[in-house]
Amino acid sequence: MRVTALIVCAGRGTRMGPGAPKQYRVLGPLPVLRHTAIAFLNHSRISDIAVVIHKEDRALYEEAVRGLRLLPPVIGGATRDESVRLGLEALADTAPDRAPPDRVLIHDGVRPFVTEETIGAVISALDEAEAAIAAMPVFDTIKSAADGTVTGTIDRSILWRAQTPQAFRFPTILAAHRAVAGRGDLPPVTDDASVAEALGIPVRIVQGSEDAFKITTEADLRRAERHLRGDE
């Protein structure tokens, strides 16, 4: 069985502020992306890895992954879901040299601390399901509000914080992304489970890890440095 990790890294990291895109920022001794790629390279059930990059980041990418055995990078698009779809199409278009993957794990390149356990768990979940995502329960009290005033308290027992990897049987997610591409009648798509949900495909929840937080802001990068040092 071919299990491919599709690592999306074509964003601009605007919430991080000025400087190199966050996926190429140095975290400890290595670029963020290199940490992430190594986590998947070290997993015995991952067959290969492809990274989706921004068209202006080729040099940054080549430097960050120098010496790592990866599939050729794919140029992404203006939105995360477009980058994913372009990555999936590239994986589909590898015949006759290589058959498409059986399973694909779509992962944010800026979640470097993905765990071996979570990678294995989302892969295994696909034995019984077409889709499975890493997620974490909600521990805070969640409010709705309008004009700065609370309008209610949301039942947090039904809420989960979606993470990545988000794992799919490859034909399922390829068809789903193709089906929703360009549809203006759907709510904004911020993860790949949303694409599957839009088509009524059941998505299993798999326990993720608090360590697998997404690096979005400067504060997250500082948190990641502390995590790497073992200070949290």
Ligand X SMILES: Nc1ccn([C@@H]2O[C@H](COP(=O)(O)OP(=O)(O)OP(=O)(O)O)[C@@H](O)[C@H]2O)c(=O)n1
Residues lying near ligand X in the complex (CB under 6 A): 8-15, 23, 52, 76-80, 83, 108-110, 214, 216
Residue 109 CB, shortest distance to ligand X, in Å, is 4
Q: Is 214 exposed, middle or buried (0-12, 13-18, 19+ CB in 10 A)?
A: middle
Closer to ligand LQXTBERG by Cβ: residue 94 or 160: 160
Closer to ligand X by Cβ: residue 11 or 165: 11
CA 50, chain centre distance (Å): 12
What is d(CA 207, CA 137) in angstroms, rounded to the nearest whole number? 8
Closer to ligand LQXTBERG by Cβ: residue 2 or 162: 162
**8 A C-beta contact, residue 175 and residue 201:** no
Q: Is 35 exposed, middle or buried (0-12, 13-18, 19+ CB in 10 A)?
A: buried
Q: Is 88 exposed, middle or buried (0-12, 13-18, 19+ CB in 10 A)?
A: buried
Closer to ligand X by Cβ: residue 103 or 111: 111
Residue 37 CB, shortest distance to ligand X, in Å, is 12
Binding residues for ligand LQXTBERG, rule: CB under 6 A, are 80, 108, 162-164, 190-191, 214, 216
Residue nearest to ligand X (CB): 11
Closer to ligand X by Cβ: residue 129 or 211: 211
Residue 170 CB, shortest distance to ligand LQXTBERG, in Å, is 18
Q: Which residues contact 147 (CB under 8 A, 6 or more apart)?
A: none
What is d(CA 49, CA 43) in angstroms, rounded to the nearest whole number? 11
Residue 76 CB, shortest distance to ligand X, in Å, is 5
Residue 164 interaction partner, one of ligand X, ligand LQXTBERG, none, beta carbon < 5-8 Å per kind: ligand LQXTBERG
Residue 78 interaction partner, one of ligand X, ligand LQXTBERG, none, beta carbon < 5-8 Å per kind: ligand X
